[in-house]
């Protein structure tokens, strides 16, 4: 058998290597771009879901002007390792809350997400989140290095194989190899196939090379299957983690909705909650001809407490009074802080006389309670109450508020520290 001259073999090897380099490099480039696009597409989808859930969590807080809880929620979100900045703006475009993660490198690349904050059908503002892509770029860089290594090994391996196959120009072993490769392609998950080796010439070397290649490919295939299984397990764990995080975010949304209707100082409901529920209770009482009682109360001389002892002492008084109110009302009653030292109660199926009994019991508990303010000082406070019952002469919620406020004014006018009721526009 005539041997191919060394110069021709070298040129053939050079052509093969260049062709492989161009082809495999092109495939590697497209694979890298596909990986990059896939990573950023998934990151963008995840970011849009996160910003949408955050906007939903903020809707009630922004509607209730609850900046304290908005700041707390923003701080907890920025505490995530990939969030750089979270900015909340109102409907006028002014920044309501802005939090920045100072631990991350701002010089790196980032992605920006934004979503409107909607309450009901009204857009109250906008939330923006800047997310670092450092980890994504690192993953792409690792993928690029792996592809380069893979290209080098593939070029080296295939170059040697093609070199021997073409330079020897022996059709029978090539045909056998071709037939066996066709069997492998037709049945890629089949058992390892080894060609028989006979003799000690170039043909035997070619068969041995093929067998080694086939064995190596088979081993790589088995490793790839194991890696795919590990990747599936990791994906399952990631899905479970995502489900867990989604549940946590749902809990945060529920908590934000609760905070939007709760007074942060006393733990009672706020005026918004009271007004929304009073409308429903008022309509039901009208429909079923049930009795309904509204109680308003003020802390007597509360301004003097703030002026004399400081606002921290006033907060202690309001917080303690909130506990006394909670202990004195029924589960069916709705109690709320209207603002400042003003409180209100909704008592379904309760007459003015029954409401006055509750008010007098609360007044007596307050009189006897020792309010301990900062500095270990003990003070006593009193309350003024106005109690009104829904009657035929009260056509609306505003009229019911007005009747209770009229009774409250009478208690203050008569010296405070007492309970005054009103029924059919007459004091009782």
Active-site positions read 341
Q: How many CB atoms lie within 10 A of CB 150?
A: 14
Q: Per-residue b/e over 7-46, b at no fewer than 16 CB within 10 Å?
A: eeeeeebeebbeebeeebeeebeebbeebbeebeeebeee
The CA distance from 369 to 372, in Å, is: 9
Structure token pair of residue 189: 């998950």
Entry field: residues in the chain: 428
317 vs 268, 269, 335, CA distance in Å? 14, 17, 17
Strand 418-423 and strand 426-427: pairing?
Answer: antiparallel
The CA distance from 242 to 32, in Å, is: 26
**132 touches 84 (CB < 8 A):** yes
Q: What letter would DSSP give residue 291?
A: -
Structure token pair of residue 199: 């003799």
Q: What letter would DSSP give residue 262?
A: B
20 vs 198, 210, 218, 247, CA distance in Å? 31, 19, 22, 50
Q: What letter would DSSP give residue 3?
A: P
The CA distance from 275 to 267, in Å, is: 17
Structure token pair of residue 147: 């592809």
């Amino acid at each position: 058998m005539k041997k191919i001259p060394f110069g021709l073999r070298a040129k053939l090897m050079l052509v093969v290597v260049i062709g492989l380099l161009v082809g495999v490099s092109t495939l590697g480039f497209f694979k890298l771009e596909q990986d990059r696009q896939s990573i950023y597409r998934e990151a963008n989808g995840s970011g849009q879901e996160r910003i949408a859930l955050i906007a939903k969590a903020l809707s009630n807080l922004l509607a209730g002007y609850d900046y304290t809880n908005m700041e707390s929620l923003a701080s907890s979100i920025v505490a995530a390792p990939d969030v750089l900045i979270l900015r909340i703006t109102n409907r006028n475009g002014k920044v309501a809350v802005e939090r920045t993660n100072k631990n991350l490198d701002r010089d790196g690349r980032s992605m920006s997400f934004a979503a409107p904050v909607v309450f009901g059908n009204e857009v109250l503002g906008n939330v923006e989140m800047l997310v670092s892509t450092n980890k994504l770029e690192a993953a792409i860089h690792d993928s690029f290095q792996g592809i380069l290594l893979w290209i080098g090994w593939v070029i080296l391996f295939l170059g040697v194989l093609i070199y021997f196959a073409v330079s020897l120009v022996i059709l029978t072993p090539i045909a056998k190899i071709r037939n066996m490769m066709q069997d492998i392609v037709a049945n890629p998950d089949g058992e390892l196939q080894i060609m028989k080796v006979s003799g000690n010439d170039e043909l035997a070397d070619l068969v041995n090379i093929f067998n080694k290649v086939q064995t190596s490919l088979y081993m790589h295939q088995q490793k790839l299957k194991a890696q795919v299984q590990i990747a599936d397990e990791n994906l399952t764990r990631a899905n479970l983690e995502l489900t867990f995080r989604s549940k946590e975010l749902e809990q945060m949304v529920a908590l934000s909705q609760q905070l939007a209707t709760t007074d942060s100082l006393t733990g009672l409901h706020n005026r918004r909650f009271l007004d929304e529920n009073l409308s429903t209770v008022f309509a039901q009482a009208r429909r079923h001809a049930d009795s309904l009682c509204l109680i308003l109360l003020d802390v007597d001389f509360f301004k003097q407490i703030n002026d004399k002892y400081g606002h921290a002492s006033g907060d202690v008084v309001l917080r303690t009074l909130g506990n006394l109110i909670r202990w004195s009302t029924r589960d069916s009653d709705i109690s709320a802080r209207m603002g400042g030292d003003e409180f209100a109660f909704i008592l379904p199926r309760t007459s003015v006389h029954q409401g006055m009994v509750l008010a007098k019991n609360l007044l007596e508990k307050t009189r006897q309670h020792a309010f301990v303010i900062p500095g270990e000082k003990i003070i006593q406070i009193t309350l003024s109450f106005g109690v009104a019952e829904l009657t035929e002469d009260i056509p609306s919620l505003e009229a019911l508020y007005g009747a209770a406020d009229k009774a409250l004014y009478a208690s203050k006018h008569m010296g405070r520290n007492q309970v005054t009721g009103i029924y059919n526009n007459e004091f009782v």
